[in-house]
Chain A
Amino acid sequence: MSDASSTAPSQAGATSQSTGSRTLLDKIWDQHLVHAPESGPAIIYIDLHLVHEVTSPQAFEGLRINNRPVRRPERTIATPDHNVPTSDRSLPIADPISRKQIETLRENCKEFGVQLFDIDDVRQGIVHVIGPENGYTQPGMTIVCGDSHTATHGAFGSLAFGIGTSEVEHVLATQTLLQFKPKTFELRVDGELARGVTAKDMILYLIGQIGTAGGTGYVLEFTGDAVRNLTMEERMTVCNMSIEAGARAGMIAPDQTTFDYLRGRPECPADFDAAVEAWKKLPSDPGAAYDRSNVYKGSDIRPQVTWGTNPGQVCSVDSVVPSPGDSTDVNVQKSTASALQYMDLKAGTPITEIEINRVFIGSCTNARIEDLRAAAAVIKGHHCSEKVNAMIVPGSGRVKLQAEEEGLHKIFTDAGFDWREAGCSMCLAMNPDKLAPGERCASTSNRNFEGRQGKGGRTHLVSPAMAAAAAINGHFVDIRDWDYR
């Protein structure tokens, strides 16, 4: 894993309009420039602002203190997701501080006229799931949220990135953001993915290749046939984890797959065909130059499993836990050694011999209907291992409803999996869903940091199919050999 990164990430690039052949990023940037000073950051217009309960209270408070309104409430939507319980929604939230935070969001939305998808609304869910499924997320838009996985929305060919709470306040007050234009980094994946290899494996593989800081200062654009062949939901999985490679945003040019996904969604433009004509002009021009380009082969990618405490510490399911001595870089040696210690793993252990006792299928990376279908296909006709406690948390109220219409929840519960209400849940364990110290989890989320899923808990990131198979066997298995029933 390389850790090369620029030293002053946000200062790269010019702020002004570009000329000649332009990339997707150039086009969106140009269309949103409100003000480009000689030096310093540009002011860019924000089309869509997503708000959740954890990173917004201090921003609304700032507005109140300075007596400022929300400039464009109709461009702002809010939902509670991080902190919501995923158990029975008719009961009050047990934790008084969580309850307060969610009530604060409710009051702020009311006071400032922002639309809220509350806990009892079928449209409630993880912000990065509900934006796309309701058609708020559209090609060519600028989209921000006080959340680093906002990159998800880039799958539609929008410029979408996470911001801090001060910037949330800035967007609420001005509908703009101060930005230096990022550089572009093309990650091209040619050819096809092998059977059993998913979008999750693709992005984990790419992070393993460029490192967790490899994308710092860049916007990633994913190109190539293996990317083109992905469905919209798979593209969202890929863009979602751009931040795990250090990039604030990841994007995929819009095409027929994008338009087909969006057609008929409630919040899409009334004149959809005219919108499509405009969106067709967005993809990078032939010959447009990226600041950096890497090329990979889809056929090189195998199912991935993280073994360490950052998403770049990843390997194929058919390999072994690495040793600090595998690298000559002392920093890598040190972080490998400390990761192995935290994860309680021995170098040289085959990945398929690692035993797990928890499984989490959910999060903004992998909690959409196709993810649940993939898990169900693996689970059908099998039963969860007795040693494993496995939970499945849909990404939104709508995803939950759809899964139940298709009968997926029956497959899950019959096999001994716990089927829950929508939210972030054990992706970050802010609500009661968490790992106990020493528990080991196969998780479809995006971060395997120390303590992320509960203090002392150990997280291995995998695809939904790999997580489901691990739940059934009590250890990792190579999904390419799975006995589908």
Chain B
Amino acid sequence: MQNFTVHQGVVATLDRANVDTDQIIPKQFLKRIERTGFGQFLFFDWRFLEDGETENPEFELNRINVKGASILLTRQNFGSGSSREHAVWALDDYGFRAVIAPSFADIFFNNCFKNGVLPIALSEEDVEELFQRAEKGNPYQLTVDLENQVITDGQGFERSFEVDESRRHNMLHGLDDIAQTLLHEEKITAFEEARG
């Protein structure tokens, strides 16, 4: 897994609540058997017009000043619905390293940490303030510091954020969960033997 320490990048906004994983990566792209190459299909039905090729000029990610954005700012319950990890793979492959929202759906939140994409939950008020700042910035940049658990824009916005210590540790060092768990293999074997 790619590690995450400090990341500075352009913020793209997506001003919708309850964005589900069917929207993040529509089902017609789930047939691939690889982990890579999903970025081109991210938000496909919103991003492209009927022909599936022409960018929809109304869609926020197609704005000129967010090209190359690597931080997504959005509303509550992001990533709801289907458990498809393809949603995180698509965000990652498109170039997003962090997602900021007031809340996340459970499985999506978990999947992010498995792929080195950092989900950051801030209060509704802080998210609203970031939306306003992003609206004025052209482009608007944020720095996400996982080491110190701080997020800042260098122009007066600075907030700390919470993340579980074990997840933070794994992400800082890009550690693989399976290898970590297999350190406890004796316990798994003992458990299996005890149950017969």
**Considering residues B17, B34, B115, which has the most beta carbons from chain A within 10 angstroms of its beta carbon?**
B17
Query: Which 6 residue pairs of A and B lie closest in terms of their CB atoms, listed nearest first?
Result: A40-B166, A166-B114, A7-B121, A57-B33, A164-B85, A164-B111
> Does A58 make an interface contact (CB < 8 A)?
yes
Given known A148-B82, A212-B18, contact A10–B109 (CB-CB < 8 A): yes
> Does A30 make an interface contact (CB < 8 A)?
no
Stretch of A189-197, A222-230, A271-279, A444-452 with 4 or more beta carbons under 8 angstroms from chain B: A444-452
Q: How far is the CA of A35 from the CA of B81 in the complex (A)?
A: 30
> Does B93 make an interface contact (CB < 8 A)?
no
Given known A83-B31, A451-B22, A451-B45, contact A164–B107 (CB-CB < 8 A): yes
Given known A35-B184, A39-B165, A334-B17, contact A450–B107 (CB-CB < 8 A): no
Q: Which residues of A contact B136 (CB under 8 A)?
A: none
Inter-subunit contact A34/B27 (CB<8 Å): no
The 8 Å CB contact of B103, one of A9, A66, A334, is A9
A150 to chain B, nearest CB (A): 8
Inter-subunit contact A173/B17 (CB<8 Å): no
The 8 Å CB contact of A447, one of B22, B83, B177, is B22
> Does B26 make an interface contact (CB < 8 A)?
yes
The 8 Å CB contact of B31, one of A334, A429, A430, is A430
> Does A298 make an interface contact (CB < 8 A)?
no
Inter-subunit contact B31/A55 (CB<8 Å): no
> Does A299 make an interface contact (CB < 8 A)?
no
Interface size grouping (class) on chain A? 35 or more
Q: Kindly identify, within residues 32 to 48 of chain A, every residue whose CB is under 8 Å from any CB belonging to chain B.
A: 34-35, 37, 39-41, 43, 45
Q: Kindly identify, within residues 20 to 36 of chain B, every residue whose CB is under 8 Å from any CB belonging to chain A.
A: 20, 22-23, 26-28, 30-35
Against A, the Cβ 8 Å flags (1 = close, 0 = not) of B159-196 are 00011111100000000011001101101100110000
Q: How far is the CA of A284 from the CA of B95 in the complex (A)?
A: 46
Against A, the Cβ 8 Å flags (1 = close, 0 = not) of B136-156 are 000000000000000000000
Chain B contacts to A: CB under 8 angstroms: 16-18, 20, 22-23, 26-28, 30-35, 45, 75-77, 80-86, 88, 102-107, 109-111, 114-115, 121-123, 162-167, 177-178, 181-182, 184-185, 187-188, 191-192
**Considering residues A58, A166, A169, A174, which has the most beta carbons from chain B within 10 angstroms of its beta carbon?**
A166
**Considering residues B80, B106, B191, which has the most beta carbons from chain A within 10 angstroms of its beta carbon?**
B106
> Does A473 make an interface contact (CB < 8 A)?
no
The 8 Å CB contact of A213, one of B18, B88, B181, is B18
Q: Which residues of B contact A5 (CB under 8 A)?
A: 76-77, 103
**Considering residues A98, A104, A164, A212, which has the most beta carbons from chain B within 10 angstroms of its beta carbon?**
A164
Given known A7-B103, A58-B34, A167-B114, contact A174–B188 (CB-CB < 8 A): yes
Given known A164-B114, A174-B181, contact A450–B109 (CB-CB < 8 A): no
- Chain B residue at smallest Cβ distance from A175: B188
Q: How far is the CA of A173 from the CA of B185 in the complex (A)?
A: 11
B192 to chain A, nearest CB (A): 8
Inter-subunit contact B181/A178 (CB<8 Å): yes
